[in-house]
Structure formats: C-alpha cells, structure tokens
C-alpha cells in the first residue's frame, strides 16, 4: 500500500485585489529589505531618494503577482518549509499594504530547485505551501538599483553656466 498522501492540482488566483489598492510594498530576503511607497501615483524607494523609480520594474512586479496562481498544495507542515526554501530565514517575504496602512497581503516565496519556471508560496500565517504557476522570484529584489536608477545629468556646453 502507498502511504503517500496524494494531492490534487487545482489553480486559484493568489491575489484578489487591484494594484490601485496598494500604497506600500515591503520586500525582505535574509537580512536585506526594501520598501516601495506610493505617493499619489508615483512610486518611490524608501531611503534611496537619489534614484528615479523604474516604472517597468514596478509594472513587472504587479503583472507577475496579479496573474500568479497557486497550483498544487505541497505540504501542510511547518517542519517541511525548509525543503521548499520558504521558512522565515530562507524565504523571500513580501507585504502589500493598503492606503489605510493595513497589510492586505503577506506572502513568503521560495525557489524551486527542480523547476526554475515556478516557485513556492505560503500566504499570511497559513502553514500551507503551494507550487505556483510562474516564478516571481526575479521580481522580488531588495537591491535599490533594481527598482531605480540615477537621473541623467544634464551636461551644458562649455562656457554656459547656470
């Protein structure tokens, strides 16, 4: 007899809210952390005022998160999180905060060692770990230079000064 628990695959959307509802994004991986905060319609990188936000990086993050689906339950046991790179120290954490400063989504993502096109996720305080439809790990960077770039300097012709 096979004692292995069989899991059925069923897809469901991971995130059920819209980008416009998000005011703040917190990303943490190991000891590194980054905060993106929206002021009106403009995203900024906390603590990196000299960088201009790369709109495409923010857009890519939302596109990947909003289309992400959980496909298969991998485990319901907290003791197995380490095997999925999704425990508190090895996982990449992302918190989505609304305009009332309420965390409306908290996710921990982990890399799949065998399938680079997908990753694992656990949601809020649930012990359940799911395999996802796509890999969003490359969008969850804590380096400010991934999210922003230095503004281009205007070089004036010689002899002109302002």
Residue 108 and residue 89 in contact, taking contact as beta carbons nearer than 8 Å? no
Please state the three-class secondary structure of the chain as a single string.
CCCCCCCCEEEEECCCCCHHHEEEEEEEECCEEEEEEEECCEEEECCCCCCEECHHHHHHHHHHHHHCEEEEEEECCHHHHHHHCCCCCCCEEEEEEECCCCEEEEEEEEECCCCCCCEEEEECCCCCEEEECCCCHHHCCCCHHHHEECCCCCCCCCCCCC
Question: What local confidence, expressed as pLDDT, does residue 105 receive?
Answer: 94
Asked if 38 and 23 touch (Cβ cutoff 8 Å), the reply is yes
pTM of the shown model: 0.85
Cβ atoms of residues 93 and 103 within 8 Å = no
| pLDDT value at residue 17 | 84
pLDDT at position 2 is 45
pLDDT tens across the length of the chain (162 residues): 444 455 555 678 888 888 999 999 999 999 999 999 999 889 999 998 889 999 999 999 999 999 999 999 999 999 999 999 999 999 999 999 999 999 999 999 999 988 889 999 999 989 999 999 999 999 999 999 999 999 887 666 665 555
Closest CA to 92 of 44, 138, 46: 138
């Amino acid at each position: 007899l096979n004692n292995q628990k069989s899991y059925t695959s069923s897809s469901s959307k991971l995130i059920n809210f819209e980008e416009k509802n998000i005011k703040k994004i917190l990303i943490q991986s190991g000891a590194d952390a980054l905060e993106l905060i929206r002021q009106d319609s403009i995203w900024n990188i906390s603590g990196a005022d000299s960088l201009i936000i790369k709109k495409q990086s923010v857009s890519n993050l939302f596109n990947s998160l909003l289309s992400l689906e959980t496909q298969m339950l991998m485990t319901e046991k907290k003791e197995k999180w380490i095997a999925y790179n999704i425990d508190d120290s090895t996982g990449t954490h992302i918190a989505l905060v609304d305009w009332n400063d309420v965390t409306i989504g908290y996710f921990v993502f982990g890399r799949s060692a065998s399938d680079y096109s997908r990753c694992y996720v656990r949601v809020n305080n649930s012990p359940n770990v799911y395999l996802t439809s796509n890999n969003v790990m490359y969008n969850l960077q804590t380096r400010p230079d991934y999210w922003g770039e230095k503004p281009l300097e205007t070089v004036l012709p010689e002899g002109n000064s302002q």
